[in-house]
Amino acid sequence: MRAPIGVFDSGLGGLTVLRALHERLPHEDLLYFGDTARVPYGTKGEKTVRAFARQDAGLLVARGVKMVVVACNTASAFALDHLCDVLPVPVLGVIEPGVRAALAATRGGTIGVIGTSGTIRSGRYQQGLAAAGLGPERIVAAECPLFVPLVEEGLGGHAMTRLAVAEYLRPVRDAHVDTLILGCTHYPLLSADIEAFLGSDVRLVDSAEALATAACGALAAAGALNDGDEPGRLSFILSDIPWKFAEIGARFLGKPIEGVESVGLDEMEAAGHALGGQA
């Protein structure tokens, strides 16, 4: 019960998920790992992302977490099944909660999903929506590869971002979606630009919120919620300390990140091996 929840992402974007978890579960200790040495995952292939995700999760397990939350949409798309097979603790990914939240939000119209190239090409969100009975005419998906760097550069609201939003989201708007899944850790920071283009009638589903709700439910069902009344501690491990990490991290987390530990790739490789089996 008192062990931390582990959260990992390809970099700092998963801090949006950490923030949502901390708000939802204020007494839980949260241990965040960001693979800043190897970000982005969204442009990489399935095998590579799965091997990285395995090491990320292995590192958190080696630090004694009671649950692993895969904050990264791309890692959830390519590695969740594998992690469920090899990890000795429960694992939650972001896709299923995001799909569920979108189905609850839609008013019977078309649902859109946007994400990295990896997430969209994996087809995982689309499969989840189809499994709930949505026909292909009611699902529209778009890759938005420039959104991640735009957010990292703090360009929300900038003319360049508005241009990228219009370019990527035109097919989404033309399909008259009533609900849009923000299927990437970074996209909630572009909500205002997206809403300005699509109109405020379109419901934006933040998969970070949906995941926090799912984690809360899973821990409660397992009787593993922290029953203490101390405020939960946030700890951070990164595989590299990027030049702008304090600025970018604070933007995602909503407050400064303090006390960051860094790990080498050799330790991460060892953590992946320790899980046994093949990636």
Q: Which segment (100-108, 161-169, 178-186, 254-262) binds ligand DGL by CB under 6 A?
A: 178-186
Spatial distance between the Cα atoms of 221 and 238, rounded to a whole number of angstroms:
31
d(CA 228, CA 26): 10
Smallest separation (angstroms) from ligand DGL to the CB of 27: 26
132-156 burial, b for 16+ CB within 10 Å, e for fewer? eebeeebbbbbbbbbbbebbbeebb
The Cα–Cα gap between 279 and 276 comes to: 9
Residues of span 22-81 touching ligand DGL by CB under 6 A: 39-42, 72-74
Strand ranges inside the chain, DSSP E? 5-9, 30-34, 67-70, 91-92, 110-115, 139-143, 177-183, 203-206, 234-238, 260-262
The nearest distance, CB 184 to ligand DGL, in angstroms, is 4
- Between 34 and 272, name the residue whose CB sits nearer to ligand DGL: 34
Which one of residues 116, 126, 161, 239 is an interface residue with ligand DGL (CB under 6 A)?
A: 116
* Contacts with ligand DGL, 131-170, as mask; x by CB under 6 A: -----------------x----------------------
For tokens 């933040």, the residue is 206
Options 5-13, 62-70, 210-218, 267-275: segment touching ligand DGL (CB under 6 A): 5-13
CB nearer to ligand DGL: pick between 42 and 112: 42
Tell me the two tokens of residue 28. 């839980």
Distance CA(135)–CA(115), nearest Å, equals 20
Give whichever of 13 and 112 is closer to ligand DGL, judged by the CB atom: 13
Question: Considering the complex, what minimum distance in angstroms separates the CB of residue 203 from ligand DGL?
Answer: 20
Active site residue 184: yes
95 close to 76: Cβ distance less than 8 angstroms: yes
Using CB under 6 A as the criterion, which residues of the chain lie in contact with ligand DGL when the complex forms? 9-11, 13, 39-42, 72-74, 116, 119, 148, 184-186
Active site residues: 72, 184
